[in-house]
Amino acid sequence: MTEVILPERLVVFPSKGNNAMTLTSIMNAIHYPKIKNNVKSVLLLYDESVKKTTDFDYLKKMLKPTKLIVEELQIPEINDLISKNLNYKIKDGDCILVPALQLHLAMVLHHVSTEVSSVVPPNNAYICFTKPQGNLVRWISVSKSENGGLITEDSEHELPFKSSIDWYFESVQNHTFPNLKILGSVLEQIIKSESETVDLDEWIKSNDLVKITGCKSCENIGFGFEELAAATIEKNHSIHQVVMNVKFASELKGLAPRREEDIIAIHKNGNMLFISCKFNWCKNVEKARDRLNLEIERMKNLKLPFNIPDQRISRILVTTSMASKLVESTEDVYVTNLDGLTPIIENL
Amino acid sequence: MVPITSGMAINQVAVIPVGMSPVHCLRLVRRFSGNHISSIILAVSDETENYGERICELCENLEAEVLTCDYKNISTLISNRKEIKEWNLMFGPGTRDMGVSLWFDIVSSTGFPPKNWVQHSRKANSGKGRNISGESLVGVFDHSTKYQLEQVSLEDSLHVYSVSMEDYLSYPELNWSEDETIFQYRIIIPENAKSMDKKKVRKWEEEVFSTIQSLRKLFGKHAIKFSRTLIPSGEKLEYWSTVGSRMRDHGIRGGSA
């Protein structure tokens, strides 16, 4: 019986300009200590266009704590890949992380099959796939059968938290952290009273919100509302990290930030929460509804600068209690008042 | 699901996962059919089951038999069809999850890997990376088996998406691009854009977003590509640049004049 070799080297096709995806796949693959202790290196397979658009220094910096030796191999560009083939030589215990591009996937699976069923095959190879949800990993081991075919075995594992906001923030120009320092019980009281009031003016005054949240005036209460939402999210035990006022760089260098988003958080399940805050007085119900619907549409279709599967992003629109009743909350975009934020986050 | 018919002489089967761009799958089915492939299995998910069935309706006269199967049940289908000599698996349509899952199920059920196929075209290295060659169906296993993919008519595309011609024609700026196999909608910035006040611009913008919303609902967001003409720029026209930013948030890009 041939000896089973545990994964020793990760073979990775870095995602184009998307180190977060690459890092998530690597971290998921080495999550279990037995594998982590056995994997010594990571081989990055990339072509010229990926090289041009990906900051490999950033990737290596993020990989430093793993102590993995980083090897690199340039492969032909997509235009030539069909005629030139992958120039990568498989080794015992190589573990292929499923690439983003299906052309690479088809080629690397063909390569693994051919090599493993060859005359002098490697003992075994692995395929590791982080499912779109981000917290489910499928392992497939491939070895040669007695009749010259392949034997495959697979297992699926659910993983705990494994991402960091830093991974996604290559394209972020600047951001702030939640600034509101108040007791949880006071925050709860403010939120509770908002859910019961029909007079937002009175709610702001009676809770002294202009002063507490540091917004300049009652007219700027939208900023204070963002602070309240961020503080609520930060206090939630299911949340790992929260940042506010995230300014994304323009694609054209030297230009002012292209866009600012209110709150971005990382859930302890590793997924990203993208939260928009809209303080709405609801003085004109029709207008309020139209604006919320427009924002829901924007959030649904928003192209974030980090290209991660939709399944790993939850979109939440936080608005005033009265406004939240005007539109429908769906799984595409949850719509809630401050009071409903905690249960939504806990159920994600 | 259509059950695989027993008693048919099936020696070579192609499995095509059906994703959210089902017209691509129709092109692939038509190209696989007759090229030594006697049966084509459309591996569908809950989301794409209807697309699969409508593709089958358009393929009744093809040389190959075309069937649908839940991609999670392919192992059962394989174990019932021991006489099949060769499995071919298409990568590209459908999710990577479907691709990995189908590959694994074929290998573990037959003991041998399938022949992998991809859709390939040469793309320009600059600009938007448009295709500079026709799209082909290419066998990864030998790098030489290559079939040029044909275009799909507007009528067939509408059938796959279950959209009536009447609905299609109600959007004058909507076009079917046979070369890119996608619907394209061009947003025309009004000729008098520079003289429009902020309120009128906002109203125009809301109407545009409402159209975008209804088109995405009708076709699904993968089937349609939006573009726009140039937005005006200059002093006292900053609100047009805000419109441009909001459109970018919706994935609609374009320059300014």
Write out chain B residues lying below 8 Å of A96, CB-based: none
CA atoms of B207 and B221, how far apart (whole Å): 18
Question: How is the beta sheet containing A94-97 ordered, strand by strand?
Answer: A69-74, A41-46, A9-12, A94-97, A124-130, A136-144, A150-158
The mean pLDDT value of chain B amounts to 88
| Predicted confidence band of residue A254 (pLDDT cuts 50, 70, 90) | very low
The mean pLDDT value of chain A amounts to 87
Query: Between chains, do A140 and B206 touch, taking CB under 8 Å as contact?
Result: no
DSSP letter for each residue of chain B = -PPPPTT----EEEEEE--S-HHHHHHHHHHHBTTTB-EEEEEE-TTTHHHHHHHHHHTTTSSSEEEEEEGGGHHHHHHT-TT--EEEEEESSS-HHHHHHHHHHHHHHHSSPPEEEEEE--B-SSTT--BSS--EEEETTTS--EEEPPP--HHHHHHHHT--HHHHHT-TTEEEETTTTEEEEEE---TTGGG--HHHHHHHHHHHHHHHHHHHHHH-TTSEEEEE-PBP-STT-HHHHHHHHHHHHTT----B-
B9 pLDDT higher than 60:
no
| Percentage of residues of chain A with pLDDT beyond 90 | 50
pLDDT at A162: 63
The residue of chain A with its CA nearest to that of B135 is: A79
A93 pLDDT higher than 50:
yes
Q: What is the mean pLDDT of residues A82-98?
A: 89
Q: What is the mean pLDDT of residues A135-160?
A: 89
The residue of chain A with its CA nearest to that of B140 is: A107
Residues 6+ positions from A39 with CB-CB distance below 8 Å:
A7, A8, A9, A10, A29, A30, A68, A95
Nearest CA-CA partner of B116 in B125, B106, B128: B106
Query: Between chains, do A302 and B250 touch, taking CB under 8 Å as contact?
Result: yes
How many CB atoms are located within 10 Å of the residue A14 CB? 25
CA atoms of A48 and A84, how far apart (whole Å): 14
CA dihedral A244, A245, A246, A252 (to 10 degrees): 180
Write out chain B residues lying below 8 Å of A302, CB-based: 249-250
Give the ipTM of the model, two decimals please.
0.88
Q: What is the mean pLDDT of residues A244-248?
A: 84
B224 pLDDT higher than 90:
yes
- Whether B221 and chain A come into contact, CB under 8 Å, resolves to yes
Which among B111, B118, B248 is the nearest to A106, CB-wise? B118
Mutate to test the interface with B, among A110, A138, A248 (most CBs of B within 10 A): A110
**From the candidate CATH numbers 1.10.287.70, 3.40.50.10440, 3.40.50.10770, 3.50.50.60, the one assigned to the domain spanning B12-152:** 3.40.50.10770
The residue of chain A with its CA nearest to that of B118 is: A103
Query: Between chains, do A103 and B92 touch, taking CB under 8 Å as contact?
Result: yes
Q: What is the mean pLDDT of residues B186-199?
A: 91
Query: Between chains, do B249 and A301 touch, taking CB under 8 Å as contact?
Result: yes
Mutate to test the interface with B, among A105, A130, A155, A299 (most CBs of B within 10 A): A105
Quick one: how many helices (H) and strands (E) in chain A? 14, 13
**From the candidate CATH numbers 3.80.10, 3.40.50, 2.40.10, 3.30.2010, the one assigned to the domain spanning A9-158:** 3.40.50
Q: Which chain A residues have any C-beta within 8 angstroms of a chain B C-beta? A: 49, 78-79, 82-83, 85, 98, 100, 102-103, 105-107, 109-110, 113, 117, 127, 129, 131-132, 138, 140, 142, 145, 147, 149-152, 154, 258-259, 290, 294, 297-298, 301-303
A139 pLDDT higher than 50:
yes
Query: A323-332, B16-25, B91-100: lowest mean pLDDT where?
Result: A323-332
Residues 6+ positions from B145 with CB-CB distance below 8 Å:
B138, B139
Query: A118-127, A166-175, A190-199, B17-26: lowest mean pLDDT where?
Result: A166-175
CA atoms of A39 and A154, how far apart (whole Å): 19
| Predicted confidence band of residue B29 (pLDDT cuts 50, 70, 90) | very high
Q: Which tens digits make up the pLDDT trace of B97-127?
A: 999 999 999 999 999 999 999 998 877 666 5
| Predicted confidence band of residue B134 (pLDDT cuts 50, 70, 90) | confident
Mutate to test the interface with A, among B86, B96, B122, B143 (most CBs of A within 10 A): B96
Between residues A88 and A164, the one the model is more confident about = A88
Q: Which tens digits make up the pLDDT trace of B46-79?
A: 999 999 999 999 999 999 999 999 999 999 999 8
Mutate to test the interface with A, among B100, B102, B216, B233 (most CBs of A within 10 A): B100
Which among A102, A113, A297 is the nearest to B209, CB-wise? A297
- Which residues make up the CATH 3.40.1350.70 domain(s) of chain A? 165-347
Structure-token pair, residue B35: 């090229």
Question: How far does B179 lie from chain A, in Å, by closest CA?
Answer: 18
pLDDT at B238: 81
pLDDT at A2: 58
Q: What is the mean pLDDT of residues A240-245?
A: 90
Q: What fold does the segment set A165-347 form as a domain?
A: Trna Endonuclease; Chain: A, domain 1 (3.40.1350)
pLDDT at B97: 94
Which among A109, A117, A259 is the nearest to B103, CB-wise? A109
DSSP letter for each residue of A200-212 = HHHHHHHTTHHHH
Nearest CA-CA partner of B28 in B155, B151, B154: B151
- Would you tell me the crossing angle of helices A184-196 and A338-347 to the nearest 10 degrees? 110
In chain B, what are the domain boundaries?
12-152, 163-249
pLDDT at B128: 58
Q: Which tens digits make up the pLDDT trace of A292-334?
A: 988 898 888 777 767 777 888 899 999 999 999 999 888 889 9
